[in-house]
Structure 1
Amino acid sequence: MPSAICCPECPSTEVDLVGGGDPIEAARLRCVLCRITWPVWEVPHLRAAPDYRQAYGAAPPLAEERAGLVALTAGGAAARDRAGRPVDGGGRRLGLLRQAAVLDRQARDLELDWFRGVLDLAAVEDVALRAGVAAAVLRGLDHDLGGRYVAGPLVPGSIVWDQPGGSRAYVRQEYAAWHSRETRVAADRG
């Protein structure tokens, strides 16, 4: 399967799942070529970005995120820059970020389900493609805005994001930074 999951030791994208029972977090991915293994939540070829557990470990369940997206597109909160100023009145960037994060999470879940043999390749490729496109759109918007609203440490034009899965990793960086800030703001409000 063409995948954003790459081996951390060799250039292979041919990986399989080892110990893929429940919970899936206990499983490991294994490179078919060099046989190295790593936990399913890690993205070792993109160490500059948060892995799935770091980015989404404290995130609400996907159903709640989808409901938040509906509220956002119906006139919810606007995205904010590092200083807390609104990015755009309609919350376009925040909507793009949250949509890209939902698709990234769905794609990863489906990729792992494919490795376990419970999904067909077409379903996985469709969501993975949509996740990649949504990530590229967010990264492109942030690049076009000169990185002004980037919350994570690496700008959208960084060469780190130019490797397989890089745009989706950029989404994880931005989502983790946004979610962390939102959590701090909520805690400060009491």
Structure 2
Amino acid sequence: MAKQILMLVGDFVEDYEVMVPFQALWMVGLEVHAVCPQKKAGDSVRTAVHDFEGDQTYSEKPGHNFTLNADFDAVDPTAYDGLVVPGGRSPEYLRLDGKVLEMVRHFAETGKPIASICHGPQLLATAGILKGRSCAAYPACRPEVEAAGGQFAEIPVDGVHVDGNLVTAPAWPAHPRWLAAFLDVLGVTIQHG
């Protein structure tokens, strides 16, 4: 039976940070359920494309609509082997949902792998799971990581940071390393022909 991964998303999740992991994890044989509070399978969330174009922060452009494939209200976190929290703007309001926070805490308390990228650690900080841990995030999230008792890992934008079951990265340029590290923590190996 394939390992099951829960992905927490919302409107204006970062386009690459939801699309690429969702497709890549399915490609390697994992079953990924993307959910959003107040939405069901078949509903969609809007995405935003964040790019680095030499400004003081990222630029934002409209992305695609991303179709959810599971019902949020039916999620039982105990049925999942790992959690993915993409970035973008969705973590800033998903962290206001008590059920979302309970789900995140379940993965932390049970030691299951958690992959979070860019602004995703905003959700981890609010869930209270960063105290005494180190994690990477988009640099503007550093104050939140530190206020939550975490240590901010200052790494290149295409780097990855692993602290036990926690796999984090600053932004989508890190996808190759971030996803490879998440698979490693999950215990998933890929055989090449």
Give the TM-score, by structure 1 length.
Answer: 0.27
Structure ID, larger Rg: 1
Structure with the higher fraction of residues in helix conformation: 1
Structure with the higher fraction of residues in strand conformation: 2
Give the TM-score, by structure 2 length.
Answer: 0.27
